[in-house]
Chains A and B, each alone.
Chain A
Amino acid sequence: MTSSRVRAVRDPRAAVRAAWTETVVLAGRIACSLSRGLRLGAGGVVGGRVVLALEPKALSVLTRGRRVVLVSGTNGKTTTAHLLASALRTLGPVAHNASGANMPDGLVAALVDDRSARYAVLEVDELYLAGVADAVHPAVLVLSNLSRDQLDRGFEVHAVAEGVSAAIAAHPGTVVVANADDPLVVGAVTGADRVVWVAAGAEWQADAVGEAPARPEVRWSVDGSGVRGPEGTTPLRLSLPGRFNRGNATLAMAAAGALGVAQPDAAAAFAGVTSVSGRYALVDRGPHTLRLLLGKNPAGWGELLPILGNAPALLFVVNAHEADGRDTSWLWDVPFEQLPARPTVASGEQAADIGLRLSYAEVDHRTEPDPLAALDLLPAGEVQVVANYTAFLSLRRRLARKAAP
């Protein structure tokens, strides 16, 4: 109390600024509770928008004095950020945009929610990376991969990579934890002063043709026995499925290592992460047990198809809102031809688009735009559900509503 008063006397402008920040944060919180109370949504993003409208420099103000890690890239950023946040919590409280709202309003909402945490793990949409980095001066930047996604918004993959590259060049003090297996990432990061290279895997190479930078020597890698890092090999017991999630965990462990988390501590924290904002979660509904998987683009779907391996039934849900990309052409880059025959339903607002794609892949299926009605077309038991962004969010919301008493 006394000390703050003394400071106020010494620098009245700082006191006014601090009071303004508190007012803005309060306004943001009120907007959040109003939005939640009125059931307009989860509320976070609305609060963030209010704060940004009143204080355009909110990102910079709210991260002052914190160690910030930014996680960006096309795929895997939400999972990597969740794993990383779990590891950093072994050091202390962490502010984290856990919902996956990764544009500035979502970031601000997470920072407003937790004002005291010394660490912040912020997943950032790759198109906003440069602006966000300028505002928050990240200690660490994690870059997972770059591939085609929402081209109606990003237009060209290489232009996105150039933006990322510029963001990195503008922050020479930032430690960049980068995926050495993705040629577009290597191209974007090369030239940065402080890089920790990680072999995190990259199946999708179709956007990197003509990019032939030499693969840098890696400090971190992963195989069946676990993560190999500077401290040796640490066994990895993930609850999340898929080879790509072992790559995400390796990136997260390397980033946590840059901030002083020992490999075994990070691995122990990772084991406790069972679902990532609803992804990979198991949900019981009537006679069905659903496993919810999020696939946003061809690279993501391509990684998911192999883990659908022995699923007895499949439900694909596809929308085409702005957050999904309004062009559904990407469905034709997903190798559905490799799916073995089993009960399958095409669903979502673009059910017909994915249904048509399945027909050309000769995958026998039925088509039902409403995903809950689509479940009734599938046999009882386990159903693997792959949905794109807004389809996933809306399905989760409806499942939660049904489950509520």
Chain B
Amino acid sequence: MSGESAVRIGALLPDVLNTYSDGGNVTVLAQRLRWRGVPVEISTVTVDMVPPVGCDLYVLGGGEDAAQVFAADWLRRHRHLCAALAENAMTLAVCAGLQVLGGWMEDSHGRRHAGAEILDLTTERGCRRAVGEVVTWCALPDVGALTGFENHRGATALGPGTAPLGRVLRGTGNETAGRGEGVLTDHIVGTYLHGPVLARNPALADALLHAVTGRALQPLDLPDQAAVRADRLSPRRRWPGLLTPERAGESIARIREHRSRRYREEAPHGIARDRRQGPGRHDDGG
């Protein structure tokens, strides 16, 4: 391992785009590399800096209207960074971070502001604010269900040929036809999910890290991870979610089986919304 070059992570504008605690995504990525013996360098890029263009992985978070317009202008001023995001590096963009990479977005007064024009998508102001838990099925292979918390009023329309990151099973997502959530290109993973999304979905974190390092990553076993996911993925989510790890494991296995069966059946025609039904037999605690 010695001499291995560090993975460089660029945390973009955490001073502007971190209202919804998406900075945790950087923590998750860095720790998952360190725990596997891969060295990490984190560049925290604030508004007053000239952004480095040589990072392997960039991370953008969510923020409020004014912050978002500011971030979009900042990106437009740094065209070299935009080129790096579009062509060289991998990028995770969350919520406002996703919107600013598109063509334009509307603020709360309905005014349009130009985005960085890296992604073929536009965001109108939706008819209502989407707030709550979301479950999607991720388009990336082997990632499975994504869980997160959305809190936005953007209705994001993807251009032709641009694919969503996942299909919404529960929650709102992009709030446009097709029940898509987020956006997925060869270089960019965009999503509305907070949580932070990579803390909730380690498989998505590892998919990004795999794309960056090009190496197989051995699994990590974090004691509370299964319960965090099971609490949100359970088709009969209960409050309070007092779940033991054993029950969490069972529950996840059940969901996986159920989902994969359904997706095999329905995938070509788009995915039906979760009707909160259990997979046939559903003995809970019996």
- Which residues on A are within 8 Å of B, measured CB to CB? 148, 151-152, 155-159, 206-207, 209-210, 298, 319, 321, 326-333, 346, 349-353, 355-357, 359-362, 367, 369-370
Is B73 interfacial (CB 8 A cutoff)? no
Determine the distance from Cα of A360 to Cα of B35 in the docked complex, in whole angstroms: 10
Determine the distance from Cα of A148 to Cα of B15 in the docked complex, in whole angstroms: 14
Is B117 interfacial (CB 8 A cutoff)? no
Determine the distance from Cα of A328 to Cα of B129 in the docked complex, in whole angstroms: 19
Is B217 interfacial (CB 8 A cutoff)? no
CB pair A349 B241 closer than 8 Å: yes
CB pair A326 B66 closer than 8 Å: no
Residues in B neighbouring A206, C-beta threshold 8 A: 15, 18
Q: Which residue of A lies closest to B227 (CB)?
A: A352
CB pair B242 A155 closer than 8 Å: no
Q: Given A209-B16, A326-B132, is A349 in contact with B240 using a C-beta cutoff of 8 Å?
A: yes
Determine the distance from Cα of A343 to Cα of B241 in the docked complex, in whole angstroms: 24
Of the candidates A159, A210, A329, the one whose C-beta lies within 8 Å of that of B21 is A329
Q: Encode contact with A along B109-126: 1 for CB under 8 Å, 0 otherwise.
A: 000000000000000000
CB pair B19 A151 closer than 8 Å: yes
CB pair B16 A329 closer than 8 Å: no
Of the candidates A156, A159, A346, A370, the one whose C-beta lies within 8 Å of that of B242 is A370
Determine the distance from Cα of A349 to Cα of B31 in the docked complex, in whole angstroms: 25
CB pair B240 A319 closer than 8 Å: yes
A115 CB to closest chain B CB (Å) equals: 38
- Give 8 CB contacts A-B under 8 Å: A209-B67, A326-B132, A332-B24, A349-B241, A349-B242, A355-B224, A360-B27, A362-B31
CB pair B222 A329 closer than 8 Å: no
Q: Encode contact with A along B211-243: 1 for CB under 8 Å, 0 otherwise.
A: 000000000001111011001000000011111
Is B11 interfacial (CB 8 A cutoff)? no
Of the candidates A157, A159, A330, A352, the one whose C-beta lies within 8 Å of that of B228 is A352
Determine the distance from Cα of A212 to Cα of B115 in the docked complex, in whole angstroms: 25
Q: Given A329-B24, A356-B228, is A349 in contact with B239 using a C-beta cutoff of 8 Å?
A: yes
Q: Given A156-B64, A332-B196, is A209 in contact with B224 using a C-beta cutoff of 8 Å?
A: no
Q: Which residue of B lies closest to A159 (CB)?
A: B64
Residues in A neighbouring B65, C-beta threshold 8 A: 156, 158
Q: Which residue of A lies closest to B31 (CB)?
A: A360
Is B22 interfacial (CB 8 A cutoff)? yes
Determine the distance from Cα of A152 to Cα of B131 in the docked complex, in whole angstroms: 6
B12 CB to closest chain A CB (Å) equals: 14
Is B23 interfacial (CB 8 A cutoff)? yes
